[in-house]
Amino acid sequence: MANVVVVGSQWGDEGKGKIVDWLSERADVVVRFQGGHNAGHTLVVEGITYKLSLLPSGVVRSGKLSIIGNGVVLDPWALLAEIEILRGQGVDIGPKNVRIAENAPLILPLHRNLDKARENALGRSKIGTTGRGIGPAYEDKVGRRAIRLGDLADTQVIAEKLDTLLLHHNALLRGLGMPEVNHGELLAELLAIAPSVLPYADTVWKTLDEVRRAGKRILFEGAQGTMLDIDHGTYPFVTSSTTVAGQAAAGSGLGPGVLDYVLGITKAYTTRVGSGPFPTELDDEVGRTLGERGKEFGTVTGRARRCGWFDAVMVRQAVKVNGIRGIALTKLDVLDGFDEIKVCVGYRLDGEVIDYLPAFTVSQSKVEPVYEVMEGWSDSTRGARTWADLPATAVKYIRRIEEIIQAPVHLLSTSPDRLDTIMVRDPFVD
């Protein structure tokens, strides 16, 4: 039996929440390994909609262990708020089924304030962050001044670390003309919340090693998407963490040898939130139709997503970077009713056709999509649960995508409902 890594192959919002929830029925443990509460996963289970930002998608299933790894930046106030919302929906959550790496860095109020202030200062050049403090928290982690979850157990340790942290942050705030952070007030906030979050702290790498040795199945859940990766994405219009499959090992405390299978969640068209290059973007009626049919609004921010045709060049690049063995194709039903559908099969840059997305912003903003036009279909694919339920032209579209991206479709999602899924190959059977 294999351990499975789920990653987004585009700019996020590919439908990872539903797929991870669907796969979690076959898993024993679900692990979040990067990002923070800037992620947004929407699950529809028996008519009830759950909106998750920080907790792993497996948390809505009973009998599963959910783990937040050391690669995640943790806002303890957001965590407790999310737990309370889910408890109000009847989900049983507590330290017995949710564990958090004791070395996970914390997102503090000062991180949120700094994130928003810097975005405002950038004006039209802003990155398009969620303003939730993710980037500044990762900066403090790399700068070796972060306060981590386990630190909350020792008042003296927190007080001393705050001295170092505020030496840096208050200098930044002075430069931005903003009020400085009061040491005593922030210390009091942390001491107040510590008793509520410390029971979830765990030596996660050890727990996961014990789980692995016991032969249990582990599902690693990524947030955002490959093209938002800090190294491999459309830099600087990216998130602040490593979103590719290799981070599943580093962000959870297990060696890469335990990552048996990588599943790339891939939307049947392309969307993006925030600023940055988008070669296949459609600023026309077709783009608006995709957005309306697909309900393309961010789970976390509510922002409308930019929409465009399927970019096979970008997804093929994600397949290579992640080592994706199969994809889960989602939202095929959004394409129902189009007379023709376009697929980007190359880019034209300075008069030359290339087969990859360049690394630099100037080149990324200049590329023009080279399209292959395919016949659409009029019959509905929504709710299909077998290949026989799909129109022949829809199957042809899927097969052509497989050829171009050089990866097979192993799962096909035809609606937000958990059961409307066609499985070609079980990722857990290696």
Residues annotated catalytic, as ranges: 13, 41
- Bridge partners (DSSP) of residue 306 are 272
Q: What is the rounded CA–CA span in Å between residue 257 and residue 91? A: 33
Give the residue among 180, 251, 369 at the shortest CA–CA distance from 7: 251
What is residue 407's three-state secondary structure? coil
Q: Is 3 exposed, middle or buried (0-12, 13-18, 19+ CB in 10 A)?
A: buried
Give the residue among 301, 304, 263, 300 at the shortest CA–CA distance from 281: 304
Q: Is 204:101 a contact under the CB 8 Å cutoff?
A: yes
Place of tokens 């297990």: 254
Q: What is the rounded CA–CA span in Å between residue 148 and residue 137? A: 10
Q: Distance from first CA to last CA of the chain, Å, rounded?
A: 6
Alpha-helix residue ranges (DSSP H) falling in 35-154: 76-88, 109-122, 134-142
Region for 29 from its dihedrals, namely left if φ exceeds 0, alpha if ψ lies in -120 to 50, beta otherwise: beta
- The length of the chain in residues reads 430
Cα Rg of the chain, angstroms: 22
